[in-house]
Amino acid sequence: MIIACAWHRRILSFTRPGRLGWHCFALVALVAAGCAHPMARSSDAPVAPAAADTMRVLVWNVLNGGNSVGDGAEKALAVIRDSGADLVLMQESYDIDGERPLLGAWLAEQLGWNQWQADSPHLCILTRFDIAERFTHEPWHAVGARLVDDQGRDFIAWSIWLDYRDYITTKLRDTPDITDGDLLESEFVRSQRLPQAQRIIAKLDAVGHLDLSIPLLVGGDWNTPSHLDWTTDTARTYKRRRALDLPVSLAMADAGFVDSYRTVHPNPVQRPGITWSPMYRTSGGKDQGFERIDRLYIHDSDAANDGEGEGEAGDKTRWKLEPVAGQVYPIAWEDDTIPVPDRQFPSDHGAVLMELRVVGSK
């Protein structure tokens, strides 16, 4: 096929050997849109072919078990396969319409992987690694597992979700003269995001995960932006930003977590990493509040201990996972006039793919 659309040529210019799957997916979305000027929201270079001794983690809210988009489960499966992910921290793993199980369980069957959802109505850990131990916390807010990678190394991963109510960027859009103090109440008065995040951190502490000398990953849909994105520079760039200490992301930082995407892409103006929302460009008849609300955090074990002795998960030698690359998908957004059931990318949340390098392996 000869592609004459300039947007197609632009996407093709990103292509690297061995990673055609994602670009073909982006091109399919553009073809479906009829070259009707899709909005490109990710200026990051795609994640290159995986290097030796690396791990890929996909953080993704898949939207209503894939039921909002035609063949949504199959499209979600294609996204995961093309990403090259080893581990998916998933939200909204609901029952698939028809005679199929929860989305996470169905995806595990199709991939030949393992999954853990416990009694959560929507949180899932989906992975090709072995699951050695399982954890739960408040079914709507966190499920966790101890995983064992190909080299027999243990690490911990949690999938989380926080309260969606009173989205702070929409609050600022609708009440632009609101004081900083009143605006911050979106996080702990008009929603329960901060208390929920604090309880997740307390759970991690109670089960000893904050004291381990092995990697601890916590990722999911935080439903709020990061203080690393609400800076003086972004306030000058975006209509609805302030330089403000947003409490949920600060609570994670105070607990010794690092933001993997901002570690790789520290400049929030040049690399916004927007995940909300490639599907819904407006809300309440007004422009959407575009933000990076889906994030993967990695606990810095040096912040909690000196690494001596044996970790509780049984790994006698400290090792770490260091972020080396990150990308938000879809690379190009489909035309927003396309009805939601006809979309190619099956979610209202962007998918965050992080590549992590093993450091200090035994």
Q: What is the pLDDT of residue 46?
A: 55
- Tell which residue, 347, 355, 356, has the closest CA to residue 77: 347
Q: What is the pLDDT of residue 48?
A: 60
- Compute CA distances 288 → 153, 202, 291, 331, 346, whole Å: 42, 33, 9, 18, 19
Q: What is the pLDDT of residue 22?
A: 39
- Tell which residue, 282, 277, 299, has the closest CA to residue 209: 299
Cα separation, 97 vs 237, in Å, equals: 42
Give φ, ψ of 235 to 5 degrees: -65, -30
Q: What is the pLDDT of residue 39?
A: 36
- Compute CA distances 3 → 16, 29, 46, 190, 255, whole Å: 19, 13, 21, 49, 50
Cα separation, 79 vs 19, in Å, equals: 12
What does pTM read for this prediction? Answer: 0.86
Q: What is the pLDDT of residue 305?
A: 53
Q: What is the pLDDT of residue 18?
A: 35
Q: What is the pLDDT of residue 362?
A: 58
The answer for 259, left when phi > 0, alpha when psi is -120 to 50, beta otherwise, is beta
Q: What is the pLDDT along the chain (362 residues), one digit of tens a residue?
A: 333 333 333 333 333 333 334 344 443 343 343 333 333 344 454 566 566 699 999 999 999 999 999 999 999 999 999 999 999 999 999 999 988 899 999 999 999 999 999 999 999 999 999 999 999 999 999 999 999 999 999 999 999 999 999 999 999 999 999 999 999 999 999 999 999 999 999 999 999 999 999 999 999 999 999 999 999 999 999 989 999 999 999 999 999 999 999 999 999 999 999 999 999 999 889 999 999 999 999 998 776 555 444 444 444 457 999 999 999 999 999 999 999 999 999 999 999 999 999 998 75
Cα separation, 350 vs 245, in Å, equals: 24
User: In sequence order, what are the beta bridge partners of 238?
Assistant: none
Structural contact between residues 315 and 214, judged by C-beta atoms closer than 8 angstroms: yes
135 is written with which tokens?
């954890």
Report helix, strand or coil for 206. Answer: helix
The answer for 354, left when phi > 0, alpha when psi is -120 to 50, beta otherwise, is beta
N-term to C-term CA, the chain: 49
Which domains does the chain carry?
A: 6-359 (3.60.10.10)
Report helix, strand or coil for 90. Answer: strand
Structural contact between residues 230 and 236, judged by C-beta atoms closer than 8 angstroms: no
Going through the chain in order, the beta strands assigned E by DSSP cover 54-61, 87-91, 114-116, 124-127, 130-137, 142-148, 154-161, 216-221, 257-259, 282-283, 286-287, 294-299, 320-329, 351-359
Amino acid in position 315: D
